[in-house]
């Protein structure tokens, strides 16, 4: 049985280059045709899918997008909208990743891993990630919450009965910290991926060849992060995209 597959990347206008590089690298490594789409906040609002109230508040050195329901800052515009992936994909298996991810392998392999066990509703790397308090990326606050970074790369079995329970009303009403810990699922519903599928630069222990490199605290397109691990490879990927 051939199941539909789709890939979704979080989009934030402040990281447009990172989004473009992520999408281009995915395409370059894919061995089969899989649609790749962006999760764009303005588009979701226009379609009536995202109705959460947000505000612009004064931050340390720039305005911060504030989620009113969570009473917390949003480091990206897709902090919560990622959980609409099931409503966007509608069927099959859907992969989501933050835009500050550098794909280095064929993501079709990731789908194959997840499709072997249809009992799982969501697959992710189960990080034990507790970064120090302060700022990340371009001055965004570092917010602590349970299961941090689990949702930064994930694969959904869209039609799993447990995922159907995550309604639009819940996505638009629950605090983000509850959504990021997969509050609608039991622990046994969450499949575990190897670390190589969401390797956190500056945090994860070494692995031989990470397949998805995640610049979670700031990537080489930002001042102060020009020399992090895999920065040269990201710049090469950007040059290929821009050529």
- pTM confidence score: 0.93
User: Which residues, 6 or more positions from 158, have their beta carbon under 8 angstroms from its beta carbon?
Assistant: 85, 86, 89, 90, 91, 92, 93, 94
pLDDT value for 40? 98
For 127-158, the pLDDT digits (tens) are 986 666 555 555 555 566 679 899 999 999 99
pLDDT band at 176 (very low <50, low <70, confident <90, very high): very high
Give the pLDDT confidence of 177-193 residue by residue, as tens digits. Answer: 999 999 999 999 999 99
51-55, 83-87, 130-134, 233-237, range with the lowest pLDDT: 130-134
Cα(83)–Cα(166) distance, rounded to whole angstroms?
9
Gap between the Cα atoms of 35 and 100, Å rounded: 19
For all residues of the chain together, what is the average pLDDT? 93
pLDDT of residue 106: 98
**235: three-class secondary structure by DSSP:** helix
Q: Which residue reads 């222990």 in tokens? A: 205
Backbone dihedral angles phi then psi of residue 190, each to the nearest 5 degrees: -105, 115
pLDDT tier at 96 (50, 70, 90 boundaries)? very high
Give me the mean pLDDT over the 87-116 stretch. Answer: 98
Distances (CA, A) of 161 to 26, 184, 204: 29, 11, 33
CB atoms under 10 Å from CB of 136, counted, come to 17
What is the band of 3 on the pLDDT scale with cuts at 50, 70, 90?
confident
Element (H, E) at 9: strand 5-10
- Which residue range(s) make up the domain with 213? 5-242
Look up the CATH number of the domain holding residue 14. Answer: 3.90.550.10
Residue 63's pLDDT band (boundaries 50, 70, 90)? confident
Give yes or no for residue 174 having a pLDDT over 90.
yes
Number of independent structural domains in the chain: 1
pLDDT at 10: 98
Give the neighbor-by-neighbor strand order of the sheet with 63-67: 54-58, 63-67, 72-74
CB 45 within 8 A of CB 126: no
Q: What is the pLDDT of residues 220-236, one digit of tens each?
A: 999 999 999 999 999 99
With contact defined as beta carbons under 8 Å apart, do 140 and 64 qualify? Answer: yes
State the pLDDT confidence band at 209, using cuts at 50, 70 and 90.
very high
């Amino acid at each position: 049985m051939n199941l539909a597959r789709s890939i979704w990347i979080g989009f934030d206008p402040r990281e447009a280059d990172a989004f473009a590089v992520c999408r281009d690298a995915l395409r370059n490594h894919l061995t089969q045709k899989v649609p790749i789409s962006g999760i764009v906040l303005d588009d979701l609002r226009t379609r009536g899918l995202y109705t959460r109230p947000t505000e612009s508040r004064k931050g340390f050195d720039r305005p911060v997008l504030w989620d009113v329901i969570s009473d917390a800052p949003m480091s990206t515009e897709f902090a919560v909208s990622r959980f609409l992936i099931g409503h966007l994909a509608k069927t099959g298996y859907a992969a989501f990743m933050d835009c500050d991810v550098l794909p280095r392998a064929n993501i079709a392999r990731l789908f194959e891993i997840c499709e072997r066990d249809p009992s799982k509703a969501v697959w992710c790397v189960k990080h034990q990630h507790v970064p120090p308090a302060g700022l990340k990326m371009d001055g965004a606050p570092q917010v602590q919450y349970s299961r941090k970074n689990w949702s930064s790369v994930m694969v959904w079995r869209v039609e799993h009965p447990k995922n159907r329970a995550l309604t639009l009303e819940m996505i638009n009403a629950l605090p983000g910290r509850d959504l990021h810990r997969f509050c609608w699922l039991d622990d046994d519903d969450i499949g575990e991926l190897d670390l190589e599928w969401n390797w956190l630069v500056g945090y994860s222990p070494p692995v031989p060849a990470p397949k998805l490199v995640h610049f979670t605290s700031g990537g080489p397109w930002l001042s102060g992060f020009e020399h992090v691990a895999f920065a040269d490879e990201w710049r090469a990927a950007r040059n290929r995209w821009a050529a």
